[in-house]
Every structure is written in structure tokens, then in C-alpha cells.
Structure 1
Amino acid sequence: MKFSIDLLREVQQENDRSNVILSPLSIALALSHLALGAANQTEKHLLEAIHLESVPCLHHLLSALRRRLAEATLSLASRVYLQKGLEVKEKFLEDSEKFYGAKPVSLSGSSEDDLEAINQWVKEATNGQIPTFLQQLPGNTVMLLLNAIHFHGFWRNKFDAAFTSPDIFHLDDDFVVSVEMMKAQRYSLSWFTLESHDVQVAKFPFKGNVSFVVIVPHQYSWNATHVLESFPYRQLCTLFPEEVPTTVKMPKMKLDYQLELSNILSQMGLQELFTNPNLQKISDESLFVSSIQHQSSLELKEDGVEGSAATSVVISRSLSAFNLDRPFLFIIFEEELGIPLFIGSVQNPNPNAAPQLKELRHLPSRPQKAIPCLFSFTDP
């Protein structure tokens, strides 16, 4: 969870007013895959960044994790693209396939054909949710590490589409935006108010061991990092009370998010990846990482989601209604293992609509998870 919070903090420092959708799992798997080919300080810094430096038999563990998650409604796929003529060490290729399921594929040398092939692979690996991952291949590309995750979760308690209707979402104290709001009168929901953080927390379970946990600050002016860093995750499972019939409103939405991660990861202590890393377990040639791309999408709809220290806690039951009608944080958890598959914040579920002043508001018109992560290596 620490890596997830570090990642979200750095991303939101760049722009805290935009929607953010990340897959810490996808990015961590891509970084650990890279660590497979790294040595000395480069390997050490990679594992420290994802807080797995003290985990014994790390790659065996992650391999088992991938297989276990794949048994659920989560699809994981990896691939290694190689420039023709690049001499890659056989052990790296063998271990890539053994631990990460990443089969090596040769680039044709035609940028147009290679770009089409890569985008087609990502599209298939994400069940069509990310049809165009790359607009162009990074210059001087000699190797690509690709990782894609697709999650399709079905609510244990579905929303009835007949009750979905136009409503408003409060952007801040002054502005609202029109959205299609999913509604239920007696939705079985486990939720509570965490008074120490001035937030409401609810858990919308999917079929299986995955849940959509939302954290809704009462104040419009809040910092995601401050909310998340002191949040009692380890106690979370014990904090949720029994489900009770609740009036629920949740925005129906489809959001896309794309990010170049080089600056973010540099801020997290991985500057050397982009200058002079030790990747001698991949190749004897001098390589460095020239680009790290991450793209994700989140769709909330009636049948589900598709895509992707000691703490003193005061809890109180709240009113009999839970409304996701203001900015919120979300985490999609694999509950049995406690792994965050996706994390993010929704500031505006309908960014294409024009915000309206609250006093002038009018009710309007109509709103899968999948994640690829790319490493591009350049031969200097």
C-alpha cells in the first residue's frame, strides 16, 4: 500500500484538480520485471521504490501472485519487444517468461508496423478498453517491456438501470456538473464515518474477493496525500460494520487517464534509470530507460466496473444515505491478499460537461479497468 500512496502523492502534486486513475499493481510488476535485469544499486533502488527490497524470493512470489490473481476476474499480460540484432542475455528472457509470462517478440524495424502490432496487443490484453496505447514509438527504441492489466468486476449488488437519471455532482463550494447518477433505495452497503479524518468510507463488493472502496471527504478542499497517508488501512477490514439497507447515489462514468511516469519515478528515487542504470543482466550493451508510459481507464456502470503503527480511530454511524456526489478517492482491493489493484481520485466524473454555478444549475443530459505499462529502452 505504501507504494500506491507514494505514487498517488507524486502524481497529484503535479495536478491535484484532475482525475487520477492508476494501477499500482501494473506499475509495480513492470518495475520488478525491470529489476530482474538490473544489478547493484539500480536493482536496490528499484526494489526500494516499490517497498519490496526485503521480500525473499521476490520474483517467485510475484509469479505466484500473478497466477492467483489471474484466477479471478483480473487479466494480466506481459510482453518483451526486442530490436533486431540486440543481444539480450538468455537468462533474462527465460526468467521474464518464467516469472512474468513475458514472451519475447522481435520488432520488425518498421516503426509503423511495430506501432500497429504493439497497440493491437495492448488492445487485446485490455479487452478493447485501451485501443491506442502509443501514438508513436520512442526514438532509438531497442527494447520494450509491456505490462497490461484488465479488471472486469460485477457488483455483488447491481444497480437497476431503470433508476439511473440526470443529477448533479458538486465539484467544489461554487460549481456543480451534470452527471448520470445510478441510484438505489435499499442498497446493502457497509459504510461508516471516520471522524478523525472527517471522511465517509464505504465498501461496494464485487463478486469474488475484490471490493471498490471509496473515501469521501466532507470538505471540498482536501489533499489526497494527507487523507491517504494516515488512513488506517491495516484496520480497514475490521472497521467495516455489517451491511445495512442504504439509499445510494453513484455517478455513472467512463474516465481515461494517461501519464508519462519518468518525472514521477525520478522524484521517487529512480533518476538513474533515465541516465546511467546498471542493466547488465539484460544485455552487455549500454542501455537506459527513455520512457515509461502508463494508461488506464475506469468505467462505473450498473452491472459493475471494468478496466483494472497503532492508530486510534473514532467511528460513528452516519445518516441512512451514502451519496457519491462530490470528489472522492477510490481503491479497488483484492481483499484476501490486501493488494490495491487500482487507486485514484475522481474530481469530476463528467469532464466533458461545462461546470455550472450552483445557484444557476440546471439538470441536463447523459456518462472496465485496464492498464498497460511500458518501458522503452534506448541504446545511447
Structure 2
Amino acid sequence: MAAPPWPLLLLLLAGLPALHHGVSIAHAFDDDVQRNILQLQGPISSQGDEADGLVEEALLPEVALPEAEVLPPSSKTQEGLLGTLLPPSAPSLAEEVSAVELGEPQSSSEAETQEDDHGGSCDRDIPLEKTHMVAEAVMKLGANLLRQVELENGKGNLFFSPLSISLALAHLALGAANQTEQQLLKALHVESVPCPHQALRTVSQHLSQTTLSIAARLYLQKGFPVKEQFLEDSEKFYRAKPATLSGNSEADLAAINTWVKDATHGQISTMLTELPASVVMLLLNAVHFRGFWKNKFDPLLTEPDTFYLDDELTVSVEMMRARVYPLSWFTLDAHDVQVARFPFKGNTSFVAILPNHPEQNFSRLLSDLSQANFQSHFPKERPTMVKMPKLHLQHHLNLEQALRQLGLGELFSAPNFRLITEGPLVVSSVQHRAALELSEAGVEASAATSVSMYRSLSAFNLNQPFLFIIQEDTTGIPLFLGAIRNPNPSAPQERKMSDCAVGNEGKLFPCSVDQEKP
């Protein structure tokens, strides 16, 4: 039976949630054994076999980042975060809070972790087994962002790191107060997590003991007054050491991009393309993942093959193959999808999800699957015939519109960041870049998120038609009313530059001037 021509859904790196497209699974039989044929299908940019390969024996060298602490990867493995962290008998943090509200006894160490970070009482580390709520929160944010990005551009490839974005927004929340803080915690889905910054630190430390490295940096304009507590907490919870912007935009931009390039082992060479002079603070983080397949693909079997975009269109791609691949996969009938897990060495895996019909809403499907706890369904591995395309992805997201849709519009207008500095401070830009290389040896993936901030000055410009009232303030009686449509009716009128003709080289022709008759 031929493989069904349905589109690719997404990729999930357990411990580094990252979204792409999906999988296609069909059945094939020979005389002796049933085999399952797995094919990944979707638009891909690929390179030659040798150029794309990850070589386990020839790793990229670790790069020491100046003044920034990068949590180093090691070979230590622990229980996975998605759906497997918490034993059924262990109470969650939320359950322990409920126990306190009900007056049930609680140890002093447990009580200390219930208080808010800003109260200064979240001083002890939170056990890893009690941070499963963070994994759920990161997945929810990823699904929400996927939905918003799909609305903007639902046709192309998509790849990003919900972990990197979560860490950046949580770092921002560290300096927020009142409604701004509440909105950030709600968008992050950690509003019910006691000591969320503490929990994220515990998760980051765990992830950095696997095959992931995490780095953070806090760039500050020279002379910008930042509260000492925010600087201390930034380093304490997010390992973000401060660095000073020189004031030379070109030099500062080069320094920022070099830092990201080093933190991502060269995968992201250009994080920002411009740095406005008005920027007074930049929150920045980067994550880098390198995983080697537990069962590698043979490069000699990789060859051009058909990738089915939909019922009508196909594209030729470099397709990796395995005749007998030990694979754990299953069909989730309630959601009409097939799910497969490709393990890396260590405690991470590549999870591929395929809807059995076209035109699937990927973000809604991801939300439904998360609620269904699909991670607990994986059966024992069985011999499977597999096809998987080589992938080379570079993706950039300007997150302002998506964050506005998630209820964070205040960040870009009138937020409260009084825990960072006195006076107005506004987010001007949230940028995210991600890169992926998938080859016969494994996967290398990186992402970086930046939050640019500037000082906002209150402004009220009467530079277009307006109405005015002269009133007596005690009684509110209007003494005079006016409507101004042209403050200078005797002056020549000119067309706005945007209305002028544009030449072949993109230059604006001078606009005609219409003299108003007296």
C-alpha cells in the first residue's frame, strides 16, 4: 500500500520543545514480517549528503562565552520532562498549595517554596519532580504561538523554541509589577506555579545536564539606572550577566551577533540586523541542542525521493532511509493521527506527528494532543521501514503581533517595569531566530530570543484635525467650542510623501504643490 500523501505536521525535541511539520506512516508487508513504513513529508531545503551530515566523532568545539555563563551539557540522563517527570503518587506544587489552604500539615521546606519570588522567600531549589507544571506551560505557550504564527503565515515551514521564548518572557516578568506581571505570567501559563522563576531555574539546570546548553545576557546602555535587585535576580534565576552597550550601534550590533553565534555554535550568525540608538536594555538568551540518533541512518541509502505536499502537489527531496528501524509508534484514533518517536542517545527524542487527513489545523491538534497526554502512549519498539527527509531550516519570527494577540499588548505601550528602573520603560521589539540541521547522524538545533526596550517619553501631538473646548473647571460649563481642520489655511498644501510617485530605483519624485486660492 502506498504512503498517504498527507502533509508534515511538526517536530518535538523532548526537553527542547520546537515545532515544525509532521510524519507519514503506512503499512507494508513481506513474506515473513509485517513492516511499518514511515515517511516524513513537507517543504524542505536540503543540501548534499556530506555537507549536511553530523559526525559524532567530530563535534564542534565548545566555545567559552565572555562574561556569560553557559550551562554546560553533560551525559547525565534523567526522567523526561514531558509527561514523565512526576510519579502518580507525588503531589504537584498546586496540590500542596491547596493543602495549605485547607489547613493540612506541611513541612517547613515545602512552605518556603510557596511564596512569591518578588517576596524574596523563594530561596531554596525546587525538586525536579515538582516542575512538571513548567513543561505543561511551555507546551501551551508553544501551541498558542503556533496558532498565532499560522494565522499570519500558515503555508510555509515553521521552527522555533518555546523554551527560549518562555525564558525571555519570564526574565522580563522578573522586572514587571502589578498588571504587567500578571499578564506575562498568564501568557506563560505559570500564574498558578508557586515561585515560577525558581521552577524555571530548576528546569534549565536539568536540561543543561542533558544535551542542551543555555546562555543569557543582559545588555544595558551606559548610564542607564537599573535596580540592583533586578540585576542580582537576573543572574540568580537566568544566569544573565550584565554587559554595557558602547553607544556605537554598529559595534554593539556586531558584539550581540557574535555572542549569539558563539552561544549557538555558529548556527545563528545574525540575530539582529539593526539596533536603534533608543535601546537602553536588551534581554537575550540562546539555546543549543545536539543529539545523535540512537539508531543512525546509513548515508549510502539517502537518495532523492518524493515528498507529498497535498493531494495534488509533490516535491523532490533528499530522503534518508532505513530498511529495518526499531521504532515506537502508534495511532491515536480519537485525534486521527499517527505518532512516532525517534530517540537520541541520552534522554531526548524527536517526536513526529502526522494527521491522517490534509488541511489539518496543526496548532489545535497540538493543543488536543497535549491534553490527551500522548507521551504516555508509546509502545515497545518494532521493526519499521522508515523514510525521513533531511532538513535545513532557518526561521525568523517578529513576535510583537503574536504577543499582542496573547494579551501582552501593554508591553509595547504602557507597561509597569518599576522593578527594573524608575520611570517609563517600554518593549520595542521581541525577535526570535531558530535553526535546524537534520541528517543521518542526528539533529543540531539552536534558537535565540531578544527583547529590546527603550525609554518612552509621554507625547501628545496636535498635528491633525482636532476638536477643543474652553471650559470652566469647577462647573464644567463650556465657554467656547472649536474644530480645527487647518491651522494655516493661507499656506500652500503639499501631498504626503507616501502619496507621491515612485521611480524605477525606488526614489520618490517631488510632489506637486497645490496653492490654495485666497
TM-score, normalising length from structure 1?
A: 0.82
Alignment: residue pair count? 318
2:429 and 2:452 in contact (8 A); partners too: yes
Which residue does the alignment assign to 1:186? 324
In structure 2, C-alpha distance between the alignment counterparts of 1:290 and 1:156, rounded to whole Å:
43
CA RMSD in angstroms, aligned pairs only: 1.1
Contact 2:305 2:317 in 1 (8 A): yes
* 1:139 positional shift: 4.7
Query: Is 1:239 the equivalent of 2:315?
Result: no
- Aligned ranges 1:114-193 → 2 under 5 Å: 114-193=252-331
Counterpart of 2:423 in structure 1 is 285
Counterpart in the other structure of 1:73: 211
Could you tell me the percent identity over the aligned residues?
Answer: 57
Q: Distance in 1 between matches of 2:391 and 2:304?
A: 12
Name the CA distance, whole Å, in 2 between partners of 1:11 and 1:89.
35
Letter in 2 for 1:128: G
AA aligned to 1:289 is V
Whole-angstrom CA distance in 2 between matches of 1:124 and 1:94 = 24
1:94 paired to 2:232: yes
1:218, CA displacement in angstroms?
Answer: 2.0
Task: Indicate the SS of the match to 1:230.
Answer: helix
Equivalent position amino acid for 2:155 in 1: R
1:379 aligns with 2:455: yes
| Structure-2 change in CA distance of 1:376 and 1:216 (3 Å) | same
> For residue 158 of structure 2, what is the amino acid of its counterpart?
V
Aligned pairs for 1:1-380 within 5 A: 1-232=139-370, 235-307=373-445, 370-380=446-456
Q: Read off the aligned partner of 2:449 and give its amino acid letter.
A: C
Q: Counterpart of 2:189 in structure 1: which amino acid? A: H
- What is the one-letter code of the residue matched to 1:277? P
> Which amino acid in the other structure matches residue 54 of structure 1?
S
| Structure 1 residue 285 displacement after superposition | 2.6
Tell whether the 8 Å contact from 1:74 to 1:150 is kept in structure 2 after alignment.
yes
Taking structure 2 as the reference length, the TM-score comes to: 0.60
Alpha-carbon offset, residue 195 of structure 1: 2.1
Q: Deviations over 1:25-61 (max 9, x none)?
A: 1101111100000000000100000100111121122
Aligned mates of 2:270, 2:370 — CA distance in 1: 38
Q: List per-residue Cα deviations over 1:232-278 (Å, max 9, x = no partner).
A: 55532331111001000000010111010011000000000000000
Is there any run of 5+ residues in structure 2 with no aligned partner, and where? 1-138, 457-518
Higher relative contact order (CA 8 A, sep 6+): 1
CA contact (8 A) 2:341 2:349 kept: yes
Secondary structure of the structure 2 residue equivalent to 1:22: coil
SS of the residue corresponding to residue 77 of structure 1 reads: strand
**What letter matches 1:57 in structure 2?**
C
Counterpart for residue 318 of structure 1: none
Quote the Cα distance in structure 1 between the aligned partners of 2:143 and 2:316: 30
Counterpart residue identity of residue 161, structure 1: P
Which letter maps to 1:19?
N
Distance in 2 separating the partners of 1:183 and 1:192? 20
Aligned to 2:480: none
Aligned equivalents of 2:177 and 2:238: distance in 1? 18
For residues 57 and 208 of structure 1, the distance between their equivalents in structure 2, rounded to whole angstroms, comes to 29
Separation of aligned partners in 2, 1:86 and 1:232: 43
Is residue 173–residue 185 contact of structure 2 (8 Å, CA) maintained in 1?
yes
Partners of 2:370 and 2:286 lie apart in 1 by 30
Post-superposition CA distance 1:128-151 (Å, at most 9, x none): 000111111145111000011111
- Structure having the higher strand fraction is 1
Question: Which is higher, the Rg of structure 1 or of structure 2?
Answer: 2
**225-234 vs 185-194, which moves further:** 225-234
